[in-house]
Structure 1
Amino acid sequence: MIGRLKGIIDGFGEDYVLIDVQGVVYEAFCSARTLQSLPRVGEAAVIEIEMMVREDMIRLYGFATPAEKTWFGTLMTVQGVGSRVALSILSVLRPSELASAIALQDKAMIGRANGVGPKLATRIVTELKGRIPELDAPEAGVLGLQSAIGEGVARGPVADAVSALVNLGYQGAQASAAVARVIAREGEEISTEKLIRLGLRELSQ
């Protein structure tokens, strides 16, 4: 089985990359996010690989990080999620954003991906609740605060800061995760204005 490829970028397709490994060119299907992160043609690259073998097909799927590869496999355990849909989800959401969306049961965030309708989005967040891969799991304190925000029981300044960030155009899961990280670092005795300012800094990184 192939777990990783190290070679030279030989070319790109709409949804795949060609990698030359000592004269053998491999085709690996990737998310749009992974394709955008890869170097230009002729430059060296390393990508994580998930290899699928069927009676009539051998296909490679490439990922920029081990976290993305792990999430690919996790998503495919959900009924109705095949490789195309899993890559579509990973094209619009970073692994950390996907973890937050599932932790907060944010169906709308999952539904941003092409091929994911309301019913499938609901199934994904429901079936994967409590199954966030360890390498992407938020810290316990951060996840707890995110849950409080999502359930509407977070204290006033926190809820106000998240609301302000959402009004600025950020997704709810992104905003709550950013505010949660600020609280974890700065402590709970922090003003709404400072939470918003530091939250924006988190989101810009």
Structure 2
Amino acid sequence: MIAKLRGILDSTGEDWCVIDVNGVGYLVFCSGRTLNHLSSMGENVSLLIDTHVREDHIHLFGFVSELERDWFRLLQTVQGVGAKVALAILSVAGPDELTQSIAAQDKTTVSRASGVGPKVATRIVNELKDKVAKFAMTPVQAGLKGDGAAPVAVTEGVGDIQDAVSALVHLGYKQADAWVAVNTVARELGEDADVKKLIRLGLKELSQ
């Protein structure tokens, strides 16, 4: 099972790239966002790989971050969402945007992806709404740097956000609503965010 590839970027297409690893070219399918963050042709690249083995083929799917790979796997737990559709969704929305839209039960984001009709979009937001908390972002979001450099995982503050969301849920608010409220105020507070402030301002946000 291939879990990671490191080599030279040989060529790219609309949804794929070829990585030359010691003279062997590996065809890797990727989202548009991943492809946009790869190095130039002939330069070294490193991708996390999700390997799909079927009777008639072996497909490699590549990601620049564990978070994107986790979303790729999670999306495919929804009926009607295969690897191709999951990549299409990740091409139009990053992990943080997906978390926000699903937590808010907003089908618009996933509906932008090719192959996602109204029924599939509805299933995605309904079936994943209780699972998005594990992908919570800090106010300084995890993911890709804007300058195209390697992905940076940011974990500081995640525990406070999750604790605040949990507290609001115990007060009777829906998890999706609590998550949106807490994440909104967390971004406004930045480094000043702590559990007490997140809960207090989260309640204020929910009361509006």
TM-score (norm 2): 0.71
Identity %: 48
d(CA) in 2 for partners of 1:91 and 1:30? 9
Task: Give structure 2 stretches of 5+ with no counterpart.
Answer: 138-160, 169-174, 202-208
Instruction: Assess, with a 3 A threshold, how the Cα gap between structure 1 residues 183 and 133 changes in structure 2: closer, same or farther.
Output: closer
Residue matched to 1:137: 136
Displacement of 1:102: 1.5
1:182 equivalent in alignment to 2:181: no
Residue matched to 1:172: none
Comparing 140-149 and 2-11, the one that deviates more: 140-149
C-alpha distance after superposition, 1:96-135 (max 9, x if no partner): 111111111111122121221221111001111211273x
Instruction: Assess, with a 3 A threshold, how the Cα gap between structure 1 residues 146 and 55 changes in structure 2: closer, same or farther.
Output: closer
Instruction: Assess, with a 3 A threshold, how the Cα gap between structure 1 residues 54 and 148 changes in structure 2: closer, same or farther.
Output: closer
Amino acid at match of 1:109: T
SS of 2:132's partner is coil
TM-score (norm 1): 0.72
d(CA) in 1 for partners of 2:90 and 2:10? 23
Displacement of 1:146: 7.0
Amino acid at match of 1:86: A
1:123 equivalent in alignment to 2:129: no
d(CA) in 2 for partners of 1:26 and 1:20? 6
Displacement of 1:179: 4.5
SS of 2:25's partner is strand
C-alpha distance after superposition, 1:56-101 (max 9, x if no partner): 0111011111111111011001000011110011001111111111
Name the count of aligned residue pairs: 166
Instruction: Assess, with a 3 A threshold, how the Cα gap between structure 1 residues 103 and 118 changes in structure 2: closer, same or farther.
Output: same
Instruction: Assess, with a 3 A threshold, how the Cα gap between structure 1 residues 6 and 123 changes in structure 2: closer, same or farther.
Output: same
